Amino acid sequence: MAAAVSSHGVFCPFRFPDVTLVAGTSLSFGSNGITNKGSVLRKFALLISVCSVVLFATFAHAQQIDLALGASTPYSSGKASAAQGFVPPAEKSGMYPTFSADVLFKKQQRLGVNFEIAVRAKQDLYNGYQEFRPIFTDANAVYVVRTSKRTRAEFMGGIGVETLLFYNSYGACNSAYSACSTHLNSDHFMAHVGGGVRYYFWRRFFVRPEIHLYVIPNNYQFNSDYVGRAAVTLGYSLAPR
């Protein structure tokens, strides 16, 4: 979808579709290129459901299942200045609640699979103008090395999707029109590598500092295709009977 410059002279990363104003009604957006809130929520619910089925289907063959919640923040490079009027911002800062789940298989609990999602807690302002919210979702293969009785080193790599939700705060919707939406979303394929150190501080509870790197081809809304993310998670290890 092409970019546009608003009537105020501010760059907007999306061009919202043409609207038609009918007497007695509010602005109604066309359905072309638009994903309403319910559709977005259903998409993520489906993704999480599929990943949950895959994870639970492996329980019978797993040696260990880990669930973790935490907080993280992304970081990437940015340009101090540019000759053109629009400077793509750096994709950084903000608090991202995270959820992750992994399954380690038998054979010394070294190999497994991982699923994680990080969502920005509050909407950010794109170049100080348009509200938006990034979401990182990825699935990985994971390799765990036991370094001591209480610590584990973890390495992972996989693929995922970066979803950018851009909100149109100037739109008005009438609930009677199901096609009406006040936000657009942009999805980008990404490759992911990461690692962390897990420390069991009490029984099966652990804390894990982590670092992640996303390679996002054609991440044109931002200055760089490389986005890092630092995180700390608190988790619990389950073991099947």
β-strand 62-75 against 96-105: which pairing, if any?
A: antiparallel
CATH code that applies to domain 6-81+92-238: 2.40.160.20
Alpha-carbon span 188 to 183, nearest angstrom: 17
Output the 3-class SS for 83-114.
CCCCCCCCCCCCCEEEEEEEEEECCCCCEEEE
> Which residues, other chains included, contact 177 with Cβ-Cβ below 8 Å and sequence gap of 6+?
25, 26, 28
For the chain, which residues make up each domain, given as ranges?
6-81+92-238
pLDDT surpasses 90 at 213:
yes
Amino acid at residue number 41: L
Q: What phi-psi label fits residue 127: left (phi over 0), alpha (psi between -120 and 50 degrees) or beta?
A: left
CA atoms within 13 A on the CB side of 94: 22
Segment 110-158, tens digit of pLDDT:
899 999 999 999 988 888 788 899 999 999 999 999 999 999 999 999 9
Distance CA 21, CA 156 (A): 51
CA dihedral 119, 230, 64, 46 (to 10 degrees): 20
Question: How does DSSP classify residue 82?
Answer: -
Give the pLDDT confidence of 12-68 residue by residue, as tens digits: 454 444 333 333 333 333 333 444 545 555 555 566 666 655 555 555 555 789 999
Task: Outline where the chain has alpha helix (H).
Answer: 37-57
What is the sign of the dihedral through the CA atoms of 166, 170, 174 and 177?
negative
Band (pLDDT 50/70/90 cuts) for residue 190 is: very high
The token pair at 38 is 């319910």
Half-sphere exposure of 240 (CA within 13 A, CB side): 16
